[in-house]
Amino acid sequence: MSGWSSGRTAFGPDFRWSALHLLAVIAACTVLWVPFLQWIGSPDRDTLLTNAGKFLVVSTACIQVIVIVLAVLLLLAAATWTEEGARTGSLVVGWIGFVAAPAWAYWVVFSYIDWFDVGVDDRVVFLVICALLAVPAVVRPSAARLRVALGVVATSALLAATALLAVTSASVLLLAPATAYSAAMVVSGACARHARV
């Protein structure tokens, strides 16, 4: 465990910045529920929530809570890791977060947008989105500033796209993978920063 815990903490400016970034992600992912809650509470809606829909809502909320709790715990733990442990943590968390990217891209491409209307193959768009979201995960932790910057850009773009689609569809389908990816990018960036402390 010596590679992970150094018995020291580094709650400096970089850590506070990462904590604020994580809080912003949590706030954004919470606000993304608003369109669905407005729809479900509307007396004029003519569509009932099916059992599958109820399961989706409950499972999405549970996944979000679990992801957020784990992200907070990992962010706090990362402040005590050694440089080697933080570097490894950045890589591992980054790639774990990227696992959520294909799920998000899949639902966007195959459930929300019909790319065939503009002559673009859905599969190509899916692969392009996955590749773009993977960029922060493949940047070396030693290039901490670049890794963090790309993570912020990717997270912001993903959350903005999720918000746009959530408003128009009043669906929670994208919220779980969006939360998982965004939280992972924050923690991965924080670990990369800490590896340089």
pTM: predicted TM-score of the whole model, two decimal places: 0.87
> Which pLDDT score is estimated for 170?
78
The pLDDT score that the predictor gives to residue 190 is 86
Q: Round the average pLDDT of the chain to a whole number and report it.
A: 84
What do you get for the CA distance between the two ends of the chain, in Å? 19
Q: What is the dihedral of CA 12, 15, 17, 20, to 10 degrees?
A: -120
Dihedral of CA atoms 33, 39, 107, 29 in degrees, nearest 10, equals -10
Dist. CA 96–CA 21, nearest whole Å: 19
- The reported pLDDT for the residue numbered 5 is 52
pLDDT digits (tens, 9 = 90+) for 73-99: 998 888 788 888 888 888 899 888 888
106 pLDDT above the threshold of 60: yes
* Of 40, 96, 88, nearest in space to 71 by CA: 96
